Amino acid sequence: MKFFLDTADLREIEEAASWGALAGVTTNPSLYARIGGRLSGFPDHIKRICELVDGPVSAESVSLTRADIIRDGRELAALAENVVVKIPTMVEGLAATRVLANEGIAVNMTLCFTVPQAILAARAGARYISPFVGRFDDISEDGLGQLEDIVTAIGNYDFSQDTVKGEQVEVIAASIRSANHVAQAALMGADIATVPFDVLKKMVSHPLTERGLDAFMKDWEKVQNA
């Protein structure tokens, strides 16, 4: 499993990148709004993230028609080599994905909730598919169960013919709310988990690790004073 950071916050990205395990970043309009982002600064902000991260950076189209999504996609892809165009799962999004994929532009199909949506996205040439775990849980559905079904269904087929570069579509476990979500996603074989920074921090820590470290430090003090 690879880890992406789900944020538009440059400080979080810089910090997470320094931990050595960051493979990419996903942003969305809400995450950009959360950091007080302005429309005029958006292209430069995405460029900056692309410099900080050695891996794919998802930047989302905010259009609703295929022509506009394709235009957004081309503009976003021109910002940096590692930009991935994030497109919502809907008819216009699928149509735009096929056009962009044929041009060799990587697409992350977002707001994906079901197996049929995921298979359609893969057949339309998406490079990544993002099932939303937490938001499914929010409506009293089984987010992890839905993710598992998508991982299984996508794994049943070869989608390499559906992308220009012959790459296999990868499933990104998205809308992750806890370290346990990440653990379960890894056990079911999701390719990637995109996690908020607070979840990434929780993934590192464990009370037994802290207790063990504390004991080692205290014992080493005894050694020093012996």
Binding residue (CB under 6 A) for ligand E4P from 57, 84, 96, 174: 174
CB half-sphere exposure, 186, CA atoms < 13 A: 12
The amino acid sitting at 94 is L
Q: Is 7 in the site for ligand E4P (CB under 6 A)?
A: no
Tell me which of 63, 97, 130, 184 binds ligand E4P, using CB under 6 A.
130
Q: Does 175 bind ligand E4P (CB under 6 A)?
A: yes
Closest to ligand E4P by CB, 132 or 159: 132
135 binds ligand E4P (CB under 6 A): yes
CB 182, CB 176: distance < 8 Å: yes
Count of residues engaged in binding ligand E4P, rule: CB under 6 A: 11
Q: Does 117 bind ligand E4P (CB under 6 A)?
A: no
> 5 is written with which tokens?
């950071």
Task: Select from 3, 13, 25, 26 the one that contacts ligand E4P (CB under 6 A).
Answer: 26
Site for ligand E4P in 185-204 (CB under 6 A): 194
- 132 contributes a contact to ligand E4P by CB under 6 A: yes
**Beta carbon of residue 82, minimum distance to ligand E4P (angstroms, whole number):** 16
Q: In sequence order, which ranges of 41-105 are alpha helices (DSSP H)? A: 42-52, 66-77, 91-102
Q: What is the largest CA-CA distance in the chain?
A: 75
Backbone angles phi, psi at 13, to 5 degrees: -65, -45
Burial 179-196 (b: 16+ CB within 10 A, else e): bebbebbeebebbbbbbb
Give the footprint of ligand E4P on this chain (CB under 6 A): 6, 26, 28, 110, 130, 132, 134-135, 174-175, 194
